[in-house]
Each structure stands twice: as C-alpha cells, then as structure tokens.
C-alpha cells in the first residue's frame, strides 16, 4: 500500500510529513502502525477517500443536502444509507471474516480494526451514496447525465482503494461490498419513495420508526461479542430514526415543503453572494447547534445508563462496551442529532429568516 514498516529508532527525528499519521481508536486504545510514506500525495488522497465513509463526512454531508440543496433527496439518501450500512454491519457479524493479517499488511488506520472484515461497509457506503445521488437527482434536477456517470466510478473507486491502502480490507472484501450494495439497491430502491412518504405522512409513523429501529438495534447487539460495529450500528439506526421523525414533524408543521411534481425538473438557481452567504450561515449555525446537542446528550445519557443498569462509570471506555450503555447512549444521542437536523435546525432557520 505504498508504505514501509519502520520503528521509531529507524525513523529517527523524521518530520511528521514523512511518517504515517497514527489515528487512535478512543474505545480500544489501538493505534495505526508507524510507517514511512513513500508517496505523500497518494497517502493524502486515500486518507481523504477513507474519510468519505467516516462519521465526520456523514455529519456534514447529509445536513448539507437537507439544509442547502434538496431536503427530499437528503432524506432519501439517509434511508438508503441506513439500510445499506445496517445490512452490511450485520452481515459482517454473521460471516465473521477477520481483518487482513499484519504483517504483511501495514495498518495505517485501526479505528475499525475490532470489527470483522467481510464485506467492507466503507465500500458499501462509497458505492451506495454516489449511485443513489444520481438516481435521486437525475430527472429531478437539470444537469447532464455524464456528470453523474463520472462521479460514480470516481467516488466509488476512491473509497474502495483507500481501504486497501490503509490495510483494513482485502480486495475480496471490497468486491463483496460493492456487489452486495448493488443487490441491495436493486431490491430496495423501488421502495424508497414509499418509505419516505410514509415517514412524513402516516399518523403513527414516529412510533413505528422508533420501535422498528430500536428492535433492529437490539437484534444487532446479540450477533456477537462487543466491537465498534455495535456502537456504529446503533448510531446509524438512531440517526435514521431521528431524521425520519424530524421530517414527519417538519412536514406536518409546513416548515419544509417539497416542490410540486408538475414543475420538475428543477433548474439550479444562479449562484449569488446572497445565496452563497445564506448557505454558509446555515451550515455554521446548524452544525454548531447539532454538535452542542450531540455533546449534551452524550454527557447525559452515558452516566444515566450506567446509573440505571448499575454499571461502574469511572472508566467511560469500559462502560460504553456494555450493551446496556452503548445502545441507549448511541441511539438516543444520535436520534436527537438526526431530529435536530430535520426539525430543530430548519425551525431556527425559519425563525431567523434564512430558510
């Protein structure tokens, strides 16, 4: 993967630009291997590619769609993402295929090293998101199809190759993740419109959404012993439930209305300083609010769950590895994050006049 194993003594006083960054897993304490990078631009490119499947990207990407581009497309992208990622995480714990051995692989990142390997959920996300973006936007917005046909292979290959470069997956893991995603999209994509309409309009949609996502979370926690995939799965399900419930409340309050079908396809508005300034303002205000909600809910839910289930809370890392803490903490925290993205933040935008 373009790097060579090396000890600190071998590297000596080499500058940080010459050593692979060691991303630490805050839950397991693992760190990536120290390595000398022989191709720095390639290393940076694949670091960016792997971030396209991490939490930081998701917490910026989906709100940007919902707040600035097209709420309908944003909501339906989340529906597809939740489905693909949930099935991928559960399949990992059923197959139980270990990560590539090191040596010979150099593991530049170990954040997900405690999870199983087959299929690659990074590859699944990197396949599902660009394909779904094109499927959901072409015909709804006016743009040449060639743009989408260029985007899909570029995005997909960047994410997939980055996982091999980082030492996290084999080629077989990547191929399986790609093909599995195509199968999931072929089966479930025709129902995405129905699911989104149900989430917004059905009288009891919030109760059904919360119950279903919680049941799926409990099921996934019983598949195997603890790993970071347990928390990630609860986080994905909580985010999906929160976004769906928020869209239900927003729709019934009339805060965000989708354009009528008879005016499609939509033409992109001219980019002006006012439009650009409002978009930046929405992102800044929205993300500050979302991050505050996430931090507050985290500080509340972890000690509360520990107290309810009589789990020692002096070591947060160990406490979070208990299902009784991990599931409610992730589910409630990211459920509130999702609800904020589709209800609280749009309401703030409406109140201050930047909708």
**Integer Cα distance of 154 and 147 in angstroms:** 11
Q: Any catalytic annotation for residue 202? A: no
Q: Any catalytic annotation for residue 122? A: yes
Q: Which residue of the set 122, 202, 248, 322 is catalytic?
A: 122
Per-residue pLDDT of the chain (355 residues; tens, 9 = 90+): 444 443 333 334 444 444 444 455 555 555 555 667 777 888 888 888 888 888 889 989 999 999 988 899 999 999 999 999 999 988 888 888 877 776 777 777 766 666 777 888 889 999 999 999 999 999 888 888 999 899 999 999 999 998 888 887 888 989 999 999 999 999 999 999 999 999 999 989 999 999 998 888 877 766 566 566 777 888 899 999 999 999 999 998 887 777 777 777 877 778 888 888 888 999 999 999 999 999 999 888 888 888 888 877 776 777 777 777 788 888 899 999 999 999 999 999 988 888 7
From 163, 86, 65, 74, select the one nearest 117 (Cα to Cα).
163
**Integer Cα distance of 75 and 132 in angstroms:** 12
CA-based end-to-end distance of the chain: 46
Domain residue limits, the chain: 40-258+271-352
The predicted pLDDT at position 227 comes to: 62
The predicted pLDDT at position 15 comes to: 44
Record the pTM: 0.85
The predicted pLDDT at position 113 comes to: 67
The predicted pLDDT at position 90 comes to: 85
* Long-range CB pairs of 330-333, under 8 A, 24+ apart, other chains included: 330/231, 330/234, 330/235, 330/238, 331/213, 331/214, 331/217, 331/234, 331/235, 331/237, 331/238, 331/241, 332/238, 332/297, 332/301, 333/238, 333/294, 333/297, 333/298, 333/301
Whether 128 and 84 have beta carbons less than 8 Å apart is answered as yes
The predicted pLDDT at position 11 comes to: 39
């Amino acid at each position: 993967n373009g790097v060579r194993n090396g000890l600190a003594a071998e590297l000596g006083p080499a500058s940080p630009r010459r050593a692979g960054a060691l991303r630490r897993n805050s839950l397991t304490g693992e760190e990536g291997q120290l390595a000398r990078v022989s191709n720095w631009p390639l290393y940076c490119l694949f670091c960016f590619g792997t971030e396209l499947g991490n939490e930081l990207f998701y917490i910026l990407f989906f709100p940007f769609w919902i707040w600035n581009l097209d709420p309908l497309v944003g909501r339906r992208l989340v529906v597809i993402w939740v489905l693909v990622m949930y099935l991928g995480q559960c399949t990992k714990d059923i197959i139980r295929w270990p990560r590539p051995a090191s040596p010979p692989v150099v593991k530049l990142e170990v954040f997900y090293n405690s999870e199983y390997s087959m299929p690659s959920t990074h590859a699944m996300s990197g396949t599902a998101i660009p394909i779904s973006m094109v499927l959901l936007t072409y015909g709804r917005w006016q743009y040449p199809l060639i743009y989408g046909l260029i985007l899909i292979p570029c995005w997909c290959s960047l994410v997939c190759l980055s996982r091999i470069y980082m030492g996290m997956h084999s080629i077989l893991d990547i191929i399986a993740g790609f093909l599995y995603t195509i199968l999931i999209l072929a089966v479930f994509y025709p129902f995405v419109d129905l699911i989104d309409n149900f989430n917004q309009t059905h009288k009891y949609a919030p109760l059904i959404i919360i119950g279903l996502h919680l049941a799926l979370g409990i099921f996934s926690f019983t598949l195997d012993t603890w790993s970071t995939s347990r928390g990630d799965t609860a986080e994905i399900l909580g985010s999906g439930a929160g976004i769906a419930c928020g869209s239900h409340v927003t729709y019934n309050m009339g805060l965000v209305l989708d354009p009528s079908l008879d005016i499609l396809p939509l033409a992109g508005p001219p980019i002006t300083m006012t439009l650009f300034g409002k978009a930046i303002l929405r992102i800044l205000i929205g993300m500050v609010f979302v991050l505050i909600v996430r931090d507050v809910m985290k500080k509340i839910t972890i000690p509360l769950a520990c107290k309810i289930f009589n789990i020692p809370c002096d070591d947060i890392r160990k406490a979070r590895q208990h299902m009784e803490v991990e599931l409610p903490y992730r589910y409630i925290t990211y459920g509130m994050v999702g609800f904020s993205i589709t209800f609280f933040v749009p309401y703030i935008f409406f109140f201050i006049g930047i909708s």
